Amino acid sequence: MLEDLESTALAMQGSESLQLDDDVELDNNSLLSTWFEKNPKYQKLLHAPILVSTIDHLIPATESLRGGYHQCMVADNQQPPIVCAWFDEFLTQSIFTHNHDDFIRQHKNFVDKRINKLAEDNAPTRKAKIVPIIKPMIEPILSKQTALDLLTLTIHKTIFSAHTNHHQSNGKYDISFGVVRFANINPLVAVTQALIKHNNHDDCCVHYCVYHSQFTLAKRSMIEEKLDRLVNRKQPNTIWQQSEIIETIKRQPNSKNHIFVVLATSVCEVGRDHDYDWAIAEPSSMRSLIQLAGRLQRHRKQPVNDENLFILDKNYKMLKGNRIVYEKPGFESQKYHLDGNKSITHTLKTEQYQHINSIPSIQLIRPSQPPYDNLVALEQSAYWYKLVGDWQKGQPFEPNNAKIWWNQKVTWTGEVQRQQPFRLSSPEKTFILAPNSQGNLTWLIRDDSNYPYIKLIESQHILNYNEIKFSKDNFSWFNTDEKTRYQQIAERLGVEVEKIPNIYGEVTVPYHKNSNKQYYYHPFLGIFSELE
């Protein structure tokens, strides 16, 4: 049994050839055998067959970064047809083909049908308007604080306007659920800290929830569990039976209006089955606006007369005077850039956003050369050149396009993907939020300098942040901290609470050895850094 385990372990390491059969005769008189007389492992390696790896190791090593290409032939050595399927809210269709022209024809047919269906919608559930930033722009470039103040004032005013036109009432109280989508975490946190200090309209309470990727797994899962339940509006009246809503109203029974606001990054756009009454968007791309619009009236499908999607005319980067403003996230770059006035008023046509749907993303337009004066043209052109490239004056406009990889069999290697990764990541480190010996939550980092022995040491890369203040009519929507959440998870899983932080207390943040950037953490705000 011990030999079987050893053989299995070697096979898992790709080194099964180190295991010799019992009937192999070794020349014990060779010079190499004499040198390695006291090291049987080296002797086994020397006398092993020439093959040092198996074909299933070699193929992935040369063909791709994650797994190999496996082609299964059918009769007469012919490539089998590929199953191609298209899905949307109207229909589903599929074909079996290995012919490029068949695929293109079927795809165009599907897209055309979808566009016609979307265009026939005479009772839209989403209606958008552009919201100008409060106060005229006297200076072309604003200070960081002025830009934040203008952004905060505009969002604060729009929240109450949205609630007035889009709320649910039980006769005594009016409630609404809205989402404010930001492009990046640090502006989100800065605006949040300003919003919670603002005084509200009379008879109004605002309950805020911050939602982005830089929370511990324990805290983020708690936020998502509650949002998945509370903004599931398939049965609209059940919202009044939710314990969080009942307790919230009990704490402030004299306020007729309760506004529940999710302040989020792009994590709110995809993967969550949420139905909000209204949304405010800091713009970064047309694609993100379409995704966000999909979270409005998602379940109820009630036609609206008043706008329920409010698109800020300028984002934070534009207010600051940055040259490239629709990036990270977004498609604008030094190469693919907008020219002139970059406000949404000047870069989107009314028909592209007023009754927003997916047509601007799926209706193919002819790619053009930069600079651009329309956000949709910018995005589609950037997509086109990055994927299939083009030629300009005899030279490739985007020489490292993705088409090189899928169109040429010789490039079925990992090299093209290394040069142009799907998502270029930056160095990161994983930190753990766990109680120290005094029971206080502390940020720890794994020290593997003495590997395989790993220990956790305290880190100052993330500091706890305590400077947060709510005005009398503003509240945190959810108040659970990590220690309480760890206890809940431990009870649910039936394990010791001490083991929970090692898995559910993790969070990954950018990490550069030579950088002095300081990160901060607050249970309500998540992890963030100083706004630049």
* pLDDT tens sequence across 347-397: 999 999 999 999 998 988 888 889 999 999 999 999 888 888 876 655 667
pLDDT reported for residue 40 = 75
pLDDT reported for residue 474 = 95
pLDDT reported for residue 164 = 96
Is residue 308 pLDDT above 70, yes or no?
yes
Question: Exposed, middle or buried, 154 (CB in 10 Å: 0-12/13-18/19+)?
Answer: buried
Beta strands in 70-219 (DSSP E): 82-87, 92-97, 128-131, 168-169, 174-181, 204-211
* pLDDT tens sequence across 416-469: 667 767 666 778 889 999 998 888 899 999 887 777 777 888 889 999 898 899
Could you say which DSSP state residue 148 is in? H
pLDDT reported for residue 18 = 43
Query: How far is residue 300 from each of residues 127, 233, 234, 277, 309, measured CA to CA in Å?
Result: 15, 6, 6, 10, 16
